[in-house]
Amino acid sequence: MLQLPSFTLTDHLGAARAFPSGRPSLLAFVKEDCPTCDLSLPLVQVAHEVFGEAVDVLVIGQEAEGNAVLVERHALTAPMLDDSALQVSYAYDLDTVPTLIFAGPDGDERRRFIGFGAGDWKALFAELAGIAGVGTPAFNWDDYPESLPGCGSRSVEPGIAERLAAEAEGSPLRARRIDVGTGDDLHEFLFDQGLTDGLPVVPPTPERVMRMLEGTGRDAQDLVAVIPPNMAPATVEKVAINAVMAGCRPEYLPVVITAVEACVSEEFNAHGVWATTMGAAPAVVVNGPIRHHIGMNMRLGALGQGNRANASIGRALRLVMRNVGGAKPGGTERSTLGTPMKYTLSFAEWEERSPWEPMHVEKGFEPDDSVVTVFPATSGPQLMVDQTARTARALTGSLGLTMAAVGHPRTPTGHVLFVVCPEHADTIWRDRWSKKQVREYILEVTNMPLRDRLATPDAGGIEPSQFGSAGPTEEQLSKMYSKFQGPEFIHMVVAGSEAGKFSAVLGGWASAPVSRKIENIP
């Protein structure tokens, strides 16, 4: 037979009641706002009065105030045990109240029924009468329904179920818990502990973290990454905690985990991105089906505010780097000016509106793969305005000349993220220009002879001393240098409203963008 969990609870008179007690026991789980519980409690009271000499009859209530109401409403003398913490209800895996369980002296389950059933009560009374050696109470069963469903147990209510799971033995949570004084303001406490980015965060309670972990198929203690600069281990649980704080929904968690993995890759160089005085921050671009599944914005205002997924995914990534890795302003984080991108920047590519293959397909992934790309952005989004060009050549020339000024107009740069708005994409595609043609023409229009890139008394640039004490030769001075080392340094995505001829460019840092496929999507 099934051995029931043991427990000790306090009854409504303040006495401790233990189960099992060495005597047969009838356990009745109830709550105050359940009509079926009200129907059943008079029968439970009769069982206590008639069979109480031989059987322990225990009413287990799920609400402290509601328990007192039930005692008064039904004039109960049967002990009403306080399970308002719901730990016993959780241990008994209840879905519905009332649940009636009859157990033997050692706590072995012998009978269980849920809700109200006249036949169940008749059989129970007959069994109890046999044990107590008394007659079966007489009832007019015609006054009772044949059956009646119960109500949901409080232990399975949203938020409560996750808390109980987190508190139960075997909980997947291992992070250190911090007790906050009852008189303390929780949000001010989190500010005082340095756990925020300057804006309020959502308190990461155990139930919220448990709910967040439902967003991934990975074990809570799986190691996601070792986070610089402190080289601290970030488990799935720790990433989930910061995702809660950032305001994420559980379905965003696989995106956040993948972004963290991409950031700690050697190519991305997260330590350098956070420590550079230039002020870099990871811009997150999402491709594939998950964009629609989690409701990311790729249209009007895609790079701005107003979308929970866009805002919280980028913020969660930064909070992981801050709270786990230790990248905090004034410490390892040494940005001269900083940038709003230090709070968040994540968006999705509008693949369906693009005339070209999406960025993740260009990088070798399948169209149906969900992919995160992290880009080490140092500047922007810099608006690029051309409302008059009507050909691909003219428009690409305008956009290329704007890119020529990224960082410094005379100095070649590394990677850039080129966000093409739909109207500009339409103009370029009318001439059937491919991404390859766009990139090659940007290289062409940003070409400049070395002599025009050298520093002068009037403006900085490339130092002539880089070419030796005598400076560059005439041949070197005439050599053409583009703003970009090659077409592969220009990363193109389509996003934004269909109204408005405004594209954008984000300047990059010394490291490279990194793309990772999103795994473990439930």
Q: Does residue 349 surpass a pLDDT of 90? A: yes
Chain CA centroid to CA 427, Å: 38
Question: How buried is 431 (Cβ within 10 angstroms: 0-12 exposed, 13-18 middle, 19+ buried)?
Answer: middle
Q: Tell me, yes or no, whether 464 lies in a domain.
A: no
Nearest 5°: the CA angle 388, 298, 307 is 125
- Residue-wise pLDDT for 397-425, tens only, equals 999 999 999 999 999 999 999 999 999 99
Q: How far apart are CA 159 and CA 155, in angstroms?
A: 9
Residue 349's Cβ-side half-sphere holds a number of Cα atoms within 13 Å equal to 33
Q: Report the pLDDT value the prediction gives residue 164, as an integer from 0 to 100.
A: 84
152 in the same domain as 198: no
Number of domains in the chain: 2
- Residue-wise pLDDT for 51-84, tens only, equals 999 999 999 999 999 999 999 999 999 999 999 9
Smallest CA-to-CA distance from 79 within 137, 16, 24, 130 is with 16
- Residue-wise pLDDT for 267-305, tens only, equals 999 999 999 999 999 999 999 999 999 999 999 999 999
Provide the domain limits for residue 63.
Answer: 7-157
DSSP string, 406-472: SS-TTS----EEEEE-HHHHHHHHHTT--HHHHHHHHHHHT-EEHHHHB--SSS--B-GGGG-TT--
The mean per-residue pLDDT over the stretch 350-365 comes to 98
Q: Tell me, yes or no, whether 400 lies in a domain.
A: yes
DSSP string, 289-341: THHHHTT---STTTTSSS-HHHHHHHHHHHHHHHHTT---BTTTB--SS--GG
496 in the same domain as 435: yes
For 181-206, give one letter per residue: b (16+ CB within 10 A) or e: eeeeeeeeebeeeebbbeeebeebbb
Q: Which residues contact 128 (CB under 8 A, 6 or more apart)?
A: 24, 26, 47, 50, 51, 54, 55, 102
Q: Report the pLDDT value the prediction gives residue 178, as an integer from 0 to 100.
A: 81
Q: Report the pLDDT value the prediction gives residue 469, as an integer from 0 to 100.
A: 85
For 433-461, give one letter per residue: b (16+ CB within 10 A) or e: bebebbbbbbbebbebebeebbeeeeeeb
Q: Tell me, yes or no, whether 166 lies in a domain.
A: no
Q: How confident is the model at residue 175 (pLDDT cuts 50, 70, 90)?
A: confident
Q: How far apart are CA 99 and CA 112, in angstroms?
A: 7
216 in the same domain as 145: no
In sequence order, the β-bridge partners of residue 285 are 347, 373
Work out the mean pLDDT of the chain and round it to a whole number. 95
Q: Tell me, yes or no, whether 175 lies in a domain.
A: no
300 in the same domain as 196: yes
Cβ atoms of 228 and 282 within 8 Å: the answer is no
CB atoms within 10 A of CB 171: 14
Q: Does residue 163 surpass a pLDDT of 80? A: no
Strands (E), 11-52: 16-19, 25-30
Q: Which of 142, 157, 172 is where one domain is finished?
A: 157
Q: How far apart are CA 381 and CA 488, in angstroms?
A: 20
Give the three-class secondary structure for 190. Answer: helix
Q: Does residue 159 surpass a pLDDT of 80? A: no
Q: Tell me, yes or no, whether 359 lies in a domain.
A: yes
- How large a percentage of the chain has pLDDT more than 90? 89
322 residue type, one letter: R
Q: What is the DSSP letter of 138?
A: P
399 in the same domain as 445: yes
Q: Tell me, yes or no, whether 438 lies in a domain.
A: yes
